[in-house]
Structures are given as C-alpha cells and as structure tokens.
Amino acid sequence: MQIHGKSAIVTGGAGGLGEATVRRLVADGAKVVIADLAKEKGLELAEELGGSAVFFETDVLSEDSVLGAIAAAKELGELRVAVCAHGGPVAAQRVLGRDGSPMPQALFDRTVALYLSGTFNVLRLTAAAMAKNEPADSGVRGLVVNTASIAAYEGQVGQSDYSAAKGGVVGLTIVAARDLAAVGIRVATIAPGTFFTPAFQMPEEQAQELWGSAVPFPKRMGRADEYGDLVSFIVGNYYINGEVIRIDGAQRFGLR
C-alpha cells in the first residue's frame, strides 16, 4: 500500500515497539501521529522527527481520545494505517497465590481492558475513518496492525490475564479481517517473542544475558526495529490479511 504522503496512527508510539514503528513509517514517507499517554517522550520524538510526526495524548480506552488522534492524523493526510503497539505494566500473579488467595478480578479486568478492549477500540474507530477513503490498488482503503504476543499461545506461570488478553487479539484478527473485507480494510497481527524495550528498565546487556539465551536463533532478544520492519512489510504486501505473524526467533515459552 502506498504510504508516502499518507498518514498513520501508532498507539504506544512514544517508546519501545511503537517508537520503532513510528520511525520506520516516517522513513517510508508517512506522516505519523504518536498516540500515547507519555507526553514528554512523545513530544520529544515528534520534535526530533520534525513535520513528519505529531504527538497526540491518547487513552486507547476512550472513544473521544482515539477520535481526537484520528482527527490529528487527518490533518496530516489521508489515514491509511493504524498500528496498536500500546502496552502497560502487568503484575505477574497466579490464578491462586501461594497462600490460596485468588487473583483479584480487578487485576484481570484491567489487563484485558488495556490489551484487548483498547485494541478493539482503536480498530473499530480507525476502520470507520479508513472506510471513507478512496480505494487504492486492489480496492484497499486501509490497514490495521495489532500486537499480540507468543504468550497468547504459550502463556507462562502468572500470565493468565496477559495471555488471555493477547489470545483475544489473536482471535479477533481473522474475524475483523472478514468483517472489514467489504470496505477494503486489511487486518493483521504481530505476535512478538522476547523483545528488548525500555520497559525492561535495565541495560540491554543485562537483559540479553537473562533472556537472550532462551531464543533458539538468533540467540538474542528481538530488536524493536525488527518489529517496525515487519509492520512496513505488511503495509506493502496487500495479500497479508487476517494473519497472525510470529516474530520470535523460533522461541516457544516454557512453563516459566
């Protein structure tokens, strides 16, 4: 899909996988809305990228907030791509704790709301905006790329909330693609393995030592720019639709 001169929205665009995606889409010629709650980081990134990106403070769970990001994107150009790369803290907790107490329902609900409901909120609203575009080659009007995780398939101990949310994103993919086929909007999902991002809050060398060895090959953690490269590839390949793509170095999570 021709993205040069068009606009895109990246939720979670101020850091980690989102930042790498913003940079790659800008390199591909797009104008990008950095949709995030991290205002300071988002404004710094927008300033660095000049007129190719703007920051819009965005809560993915708020309809008005997402609609505001969409309006900001339309000021930059025709909205053709949305990437859901937002995230947040997840407290690892078993269904039953060591003392036999159950995981708080509020904790489960919070994680599912952020990772699944927030993704759907962005999907539905950006799709509604893209459906008004003039069709490009093959009748394509737009693309939404969501982010799952290999934890959707092999969740580890203490990941019931996170795995359930990401599993929901996986399940949403083919249904949304079929729902939106009539208006020419593609939907794809990326399921990353262990990627190094600032969320680890430690030097990369330390993180690589702890987790990189568990990856079969390349024997290291993923790099955020590799995620951004995959987004760019999906943008350019019209026939990728309704698919979940693992990017994990052949890693399969174990019990822990």
Cα separation values, 98 from 41, 90, 106, 158, 228, Å: 39, 19, 19, 12, 40
> Residues 103, 107, 109, 111: what is their CA dihedral angle, to the nearest 10 degrees?
-120
Q: Which helix (H) or strand (E) holds 53?
A: strand 53-57
Q: Is 238 a catalytic residue?
A: no
Dist. CA 151–CA 160, nearest whole Å: 9
- Gyration radius from the chain CA atoms: 18
Q: What are the two backbone dihedrals, phi and then psi, of residue 215, each rounded to the nearest 5 degrees?
A: -95, 125
Dist. CA 235–CA 136, nearest whole Å: 13
Dist. CA 30–CA 6, nearest whole Å: 5
Asked whether 13 and 33 are in contact (CB, 8 A), the reply is yes
State the DSSP string of 197-251: -GGG-S-HHHHHHHHGGGSSSSSS-B-HHHHHHHHHHHHH-TT--SEEEEESTT-
- Select which of 162, 227, 238, 239 is catalytic: 162
β-pairing, 142-147 vs 79-84, is parallel
Q: Which residues are identified as catalytic?
A: 162
